[in-house]
Amino acid sequence: MALDIAKRSVKGSLILLVSNLSATLINAVAIILMARLLGPSRYGTYSLALLIPGLIQLFIGFGALPAVIRYAAYYNSIGKEDEAKRFTSNVIVFLGLTGTLLTILCFVLAGVLSSLMLNRPSLGPYVELASLSVLGSTALQTSITCAIGWNWMTLSGSTTVTQAVVQLALSPAFILLGFGVTGALVGHLASMLIAGCAGVGVLYIRKLKGSGNLRSFYSDVREMNVYGIPAYAGYVINNLSSYFVLVLLAAIATNTVYGYYQVAVNFTTPVTLLASAMINALFPAFASIDGIKGNVNQAFRHAYRFIAFLLTPLIMFLIVSAGPLVRILYGAAYSSSVSYLQLLAFAYLPIAFGYSVHPAFFNGFGKTKLTFVLFVTASVTLVLAAPLLALTANLGVDGLIYANFISDFVAWAVGTYLAFRFLHAALDIRSTVTILIVSAAAYLVTLYLPHPASALLALVANFVVFFGIYITLAPLSNAITGKDLDLLEVTLSEPALIGKVTSPFLRYERLLVNIRTGDQQKSG
């Protein structure tokens, strides 16, 4: 049973990964077109207009949003499907109510917050328009989260892709029609509302029709909030600290510099989406393992190694290829984004090494108070470090990025301790260090490659050399094992297209694993 859950979690991760990467690529095209059409200053205005609605979105659903994954997965794993349906239906109603109220609040406060928080009163009308993104985000998060709770990863992934496709179709078109920042915002809002509402509708028709029970609405919502509020409170505190950093950035940077910084953030989106895809799949898997009383430590180590294996090389590649990536995709006007991208990518290393695993792990096993402690630790560190480095040490934007790295690193250390102390789950240190060494070796070789005049040729050379070294050294150094490949072969066999694409890679990895194990047997 535990192996079936592990396979399901990896397969779910794969589906979400493919969907999120597809959505990321589509969104990247849309963002690149918007950034090029608007220019650094107006693109900075567009990004700033979404800052306040993004802050308001933190309060959507309170603790019920993360709780619905736990409750749907847990009750389905023990054969109580009607309970899972009832909780899911009631949480959808609750999320719709809170999303609507928060949208109205954001619209009413748009002018005041634009002046007080961003020191830009002229942003008021843009923020009023962008307030609809709160309702759009509610619909989108509801669809994605509830589908994950039901292990319906295809619906969750297709909702994400639909949002990206609609934004690509609308935002650049509205800009070209002369609507500028307003057009970009309208396209963004419409994409979330269309995708989110469609996803919720499909979920209700296929899984939840006739399952609503308003008599239990209050008790169900209250129960989910009691479970979810510790983790939710930590999540809100953590994100409030992140918005504190963005407000500091808005205070010390011009719209143009903010645009440069946002472009760098755009390049790190694949890292966050990849981590999110795997964590969203692992959350219900952890909850299911809790339901059948499976091996906690094995689940933790598997998740840790899987994420580090995929994310670490991606981060290192972003660092070494920042220059060609910015020049090719955004043009010379955004060349100042290169240094920000390199620093931001480096700051994401704690995420690759399991910081992102801890919340899903703690929540999945019902230890939401540990998630609260984790997020509070990260938040306090960030709030203290950001002004100290950016203002006192006069490091500016770079100081804010350094503060993010310190915050994530401290939280990673605390999360690792909490997992061991309260759930007796320890990370695989040898595998983690090996992955870092292999990624660093690929980085160093790629760093000293000759630099062709063409940015495209430089990027292609970097990609071939970096990942060629990584996929060769990973099995030879035991960063990936035969058991890992067994699981990957089973999960990557479906759908058939993915199986065909990944088959040569897996055969190559298997060959190298066999060479390593054969050499070990001979030496033994």
Give a yes or no: residue 398 inside a domain. yes
Token pair of 314, please?
Answer: 């991606």
Pick from 183, 55, 167, 191: which is nearest to 126 by CA?
A: 183
Distance between CA atoms of residues 300 and 75, nearest Å: 22
pLDDT of residue 479: 80
pLDDT, residue 520, reads 55
Q: From 323, 319, 326, 308, select the one nearest 344 (Cα to Cα).
A: 319
- 437 within some domain: no
In a domain, 509, yes or no: no
Domain around 98: 2-427
Domains contained in the chain, number: 1
The answer to whether the CB of 312 falls within 8 A of the CB of 482 is no
449 lies in some domain: no
State the Cα–Cα distance between residues 319 and 84, nearest whole angstrom.
44
Q: What is the pLDDT of residue 279?
A: 59
Burial class (CB in 10 A: 0-12, 13-18, 19+), 47: buried
In a domain? residue 58: yes
Contact (Cβ atoms closer than 8 angstroms) between residue 372 and residue 233: yes
DSSP annotation of 480 reads: S
Asked if residue 53 belongs to a domain, the reply is yes
The pLDDT of residue 290: 45
pLDDT in tens, the chain (524 residues): 444 444 555 555 567 667 777 887 898 889 889 988 998 889 889 989 998 998 898 888 777 777 777 788 777 777 787 888 888 888 888 888 999 999 999 999 999 999 888 888 889 999 999 999 999 999 998 898 888 888 787 888 889 999 999 999 999 999 999 999 999 999 999 999 999 999 989 988 887 876 656 777 888 888 887 777 776 777 788 888 888 888 888 888 888 888 899 888 888 877 776 666 665 555 445 545 544 455 666 767 777 777 788 888 989 999 999 999 999 988 888 888 999 999 999 988 887 777 777 877 787 677 778 888 888 899 999 999 999 999 999 999 999 999 999 998 998 999 889 988 888 887 778 888 898 999 999 999 999 988 888 889 999 999 999 999 999 998 888 888 777 777 666 555 555 556 677 788 888 888 988 887 765 555 55
Calpha distance 311→515 (Å, rounded): 25
User: By three-state DSSP, how is residue 478 classified?
Assistant: coil
Residue 236 falls within a domain, yes or no?
yes
pLDDT for the residue 522? 53
pLDDT at 2: 43
- Neighbouring C-beta atoms of residue 108, cutoff 10 Å: 12
The pLDDT value recorded for residue 283 is 47
* 474 within domain boundaries: no
